[in-house]
């Protein structure tokens, strides 16, 4: 999809795959890729490398799912980061799989997230949590992060620092960390902490979630949507035209 490899799967398939990775002691990282990430990767070489380096990239938005279906992947479904995180936490609470939370607005927001997750998923083992500063990290800070996460013994590190920052962090830190999986889920931390409201399901299904988000945070989001949404439509239109041309020659 515009240079990005996206998984054609469903929640159960991705959750089963994650459990298999953990059981095998394999190491990888996952991103719930939104249109913003796919389009940023076309302009930012570091973001492109981080997206290409993901062991699994799932389509986080309905426009990506519709585009995949148009290209012939009829079984494509949305794998929404917040829902994936919630579904995994439900399984982890039953199995005792320890998780780590890396991200959040600040320490207070991260503490609220932990409290909400433990309340919602009794038995969930949160082995550790850290909210890094928004500025670029020093090498000493990255080393401290690695030591802190490894010492926790977590099997999955949930990363909520926003796209593409979290993907770049996962690419850089993957080789330093012992946890089998790192999973970037963007705004999921704010949603699950109750700091930001999610769009109603019917809006999510309609593909207009960006309108809802824009209405809540216009000053932060308007440039992103004004820049990338039209470029995605134009870029996919060109890819779809090439797809139809190839089909016509077959």
The per-residue pLDDT string of the chain (250 residues; one tens digit each, 9 = 90 and over) reads 899 999 999 999 999 999 999 999 999 999 999 999 999 999 999 999 999 999 999 999 899 999 999 999 999 999 999 999 999 999 999 999 999 999 999 999 999 999 999 999 999 999 999 999 989 999 999 999 999 999 999 999 999 999 999 999 999 999 999 999 999 998 899 999 999 877 677 777 777 777 777 777 777 777 777 888 899 999 999 999 999 988 887 6
pTM of the predicted protein model = 0.92
Strands in 34-149 per DSSP E: 56-59, 99-103, 126-130
Give the C-alpha separation, 158 to 216, whole Å.
25
Look at residue 250 in the predicted model and tell me its pLDDT.
67
Sequence-separated (6 or more) residues with CB below 8 Å from residue 246: none
Give the C-alpha separation, 51 to 38, whole Å.
8
Look at residue 89 in the predicted model and tell me its pLDDT.
98
Domain limits of the chain?
A: 11-249
| Cα–Cα distance list, 166 to 35, 42, 47, 77, 160 (Å) | 15, 17, 10, 23, 7
Six-digit token string for 234: 């134009």
Look at residue 219 in the predicted model and tell me its pLDDT.
78
Six-digit token string for 188: 């999921």
Look at residue 198 in the predicted model and tell me its pLDDT.
77
SS3 category, 58: strand
Give the C-alpha separation, 17 to 209, whole Å.
28
Give the C-alpha separation, 128 to 66, whole Å.
37
| Cα–Cα distance list, 120 to 11, 174, 192 (Å) | 19, 29, 10
| Cα–Cα distance list, 235 to 42, 70, 232, 242 (Å) | 10, 14, 5, 11
Look at residue 55 in the predicted model and tell me its pLDDT.
98
Helix (H) or strand (E) holding 203: helix 201-206
DSSP state of 12: H
Give the C-alpha separation, 19 to 22, whole Å.
5
> Residues 96-99: contacts with CB within 8 Å, 24+ apart?
96/123, 96/125, 97/22, 97/125, 97/155, 97/156, 98/125, 98/126, 98/127, 98/152, 98/153, 98/154, 98/155, 98/156, 99/124, 99/125, 99/126, 99/127, 99/154, 99/155, 99/156, 99/157, 99/158
Q: 156 φ, ψ to 5°? A: -135, 130
């Amino acid at each position: 999809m515009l240079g990005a490899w996206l998984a054609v799967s469903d929640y159960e398939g991705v959750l089963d795959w994650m459990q298999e990775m953990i059981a095998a002691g394999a190491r990888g990282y996952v991103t719930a890729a939104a249109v913003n990430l796919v389009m940023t990767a076309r302009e930012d070489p570091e973001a492109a490398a981080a997206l290409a380096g993901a062991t699994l990239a799932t389509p986080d938005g309905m426009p990506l799912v519709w585009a995949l279906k148009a290209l012939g992947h009829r079984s494509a479904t949305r794998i929404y980061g917040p829902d994936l995180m919630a579904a995994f936490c439900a399984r982890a609470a039953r199995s005792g799989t320890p998780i780590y939370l890396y991200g959040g607005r600040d320490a207070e927001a991260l503490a609220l997230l932990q409290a909400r997750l433990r309340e919602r998923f009794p038995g969930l083992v949160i082995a550790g949590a850290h909210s890094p500063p928004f500025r670029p990290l020093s090498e000493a800070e990255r080393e401290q992060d690695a030591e802190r996460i490894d010492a926790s013994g977590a099997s999955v590190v949930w990363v909520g620092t926003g796209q593409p920052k979290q993907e770049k962090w996962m690419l850089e830190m993957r080789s330093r960390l012992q946890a089998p999986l790192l999973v970037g889920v963007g705004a999921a931390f704010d949603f699950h902490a109750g700091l930001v409201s999610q769009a109603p399901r019917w809006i999510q299904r309609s593909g207009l979630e960006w309108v809802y988000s824009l209405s809540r945070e216009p000053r932060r989001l308007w440039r992103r949507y004004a820049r990338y949404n039209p470029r995605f439509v134009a870029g996919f239109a060109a890819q779809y035209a090439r797809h139809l041309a190839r089909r016509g020659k077959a």
